[in-house]
Amino acid sequence: MSELPGNEERPPMRRSARAIRATAASLALLTVALAVTEGMTQLVARTTMRLTPHRARLERGALLAKIPPDPSMAGGAAPGTIHRRYVDMAYGARYEIHPYFGHTMFRNFGLANNHGFYTDKRYPYVKGPREYVIGIFGGSVAMQIAGGGATLATRLRPALRERGFDDVTVLPFAAGGWRQPQSFNALVYYLDSIDMAILVDGFNDTVTLSPEQVRAYPARFPMQNIFAPLASDSQSSCATATAGKLAVAHRLMRRVTESLDASPFRNSILAHVAWRGVAAMYGRYVARLRAELEAPTADEWSGMEPNDDTERTIDAYLRLYANVARYGSVIAGADHKPFFHFVQPNQHDRGSKPLSEEERALVTVGWVEPISAAYRKLERISGELRAAGVDSTFLGHVFAATTETVYADSCCHFNTRGIDMLENAIADHVLASRALDGVPRVASGDDEAANAVARNR
């Protein structure tokens, strides 16, 4: 018995074609729905939050700047990214405790030398007979300046060649998180290795002076989040596990953010809103892990300094800050070596620079008030040091007429343009001071030959 016409089976090819058309229609409908949702989201975001695709990318970039780099990437930066490399090293460096300086980078690890400073020179440095050595002291911004150093050396070389020097070498004696008296200790320790001392500081010395911090940790100690865990005797397997979780969280958040930036959805506000949710969870998780790591060391060091009067503690640190600059000048001068002190600029110092759109995205609002107030104190201290005969310069307004982007992250570090401008500002001041006129002239090869002939007559 034959089958009825309406009951015959459809050929497989017809069923596949219909399935494909249905899937295509569903995808088209989904695409239209997503496009409409994206358009509405962008409209709402623009009108209520002033959030554009460009600002969204800046927001993700600001978070990436805060995430320490993967340790496996240390030292792997391209040649043209030296200043970004030093920023990453300051955040993600492997530190070790030091008996005089609090901490340095881990010796002979990555690009750190045998004393724990980022240079290919071994310390103690032995200079050549006609080589002029400039030592840069301070924190991670000083590291950035010394990490390049080419502009500074180029600017000073002609004046030093007039004094008989053939080579100018810039050496780093600086580490991420260093403040006073760490830089002073390093100056005294390495003075025999250098001919000129340049101290660049300011941010590390003020960002730690909040009343909450000085109640829990000695103001005149090295920076808490680096030194305290290193010096603590209460490290445990739990702390190691917590540090491991922290590293994994950083790595995952970096990959999520970089994947979005490299995807076709990098300009999607809808995707960015979803990313914000992930970033918020990451922030809460990381804050909890950091609190677990820091709480034991904070308790361990509490009571080392009087903390009933935080203003007195803060003022005592600032007196120390001023005194070590004064003493550094005296000690270097006694050895006939020029000493220069510079207070570095910072984007949180209100009105110090017309911030670009990129820089506004990097500003941590919570730091503006305390840093601005602290920098007024540093400006006053710098003036008092000058009146006392110390060559101290406040560079807080060096970018007052600069509209382009010079800051590289939400802390204190600079991009290549910013470091080049800082090096030029330092070189301008050194040359204008005429300090190089007092540098003893060294004998050139011709002078030595003439002296030898005169002695043999």
C-alpha span between 165 and 131 (Å, rounded): 6
Instruction: With H, G, I as helix, E, B as strand and everything else as coil, classify residue 98.
Output: strand
Query: Which token pair is 442?
Result: 């060294």
pLDDT of residue 388: 96
Computed on alpha carbons and rounded to an integer, the radius of gyration of the chain in Å comes to: 29
Cβ–Cβ < 8 Å for 93, 73 = no
Rounded CA-CA distance 406/352 in Å is 12
Q: What is the dihedral of CA 367, 372, 375, 379, to 10 degrees?
A: 170
pLDDT of residue 79: 39
Note the pLDDT of residue 82.
47
Q: Which residues are CB-neighbours of 16 under 8 A, at least 6 positions away? A: none
How far, in Å, CA of 334 to CA of 332, rounded?
A: 5
Q: What angle do CA 290, 176, 389 make, to 5 degrees?
A: 130
Q: What is the pLDDT of residue 431?
A: 97
Angle separating helix axes 269-301 and 237-261, nearest 10 degrees: 160
Residue burial 117-139, b: 16+ Cβ < 10 Å; e: rest? bbbebebebebeebbbbbbbbbb
Q: What percent of the chain has pLDDT over 90?
A: 48
| Count of alpha carbons within 13 angstroms of residue 35, beta-carbon side | 6
- pLDDT number for residue 76: 42
Name residues of the chain where pLDDT drops below 50. 1-4, 72-82, 448-457
pLDDT at 83: 52
In this predicted structure, what is the pLDDT of residue 363?
84
Using CA atoms, how far residue 21 sits from 25, 30, 274, in Å, is: 6, 14, 31
d(Cα 422, Cα 408) in Å, to the nearest integer? 14
Q: Quick one: pLDDT at residue 59?
A: 83
Spatial distance between the Cα atoms of 115 and 122, rounded to a whole number of angstroms: 8
Residue 179 has a pLDDT of 94
What sign has the CA pseudo-torsion 240, 245, 250, 254? positive
Give dist(CA 83, CA 246) in Å, integer: 25
Cα(255)–Cα(215) distance, rounded to whole angstroms? 37
Grouping H, G, I as helix, E, B as strand and the rest as coil, residue 50 is coil
Angle between helices 416-433 and 140-148 in degrees, nearest 10: 80
At residue 1, the pLDDT reads 47
Task: Provide the pLDDT for residue 319.
Answer: 96
- For residue 362, the model assigns a pLDDT of 82
* Residue closest to 266 by CA, chosen among 64, 56, 59: 56
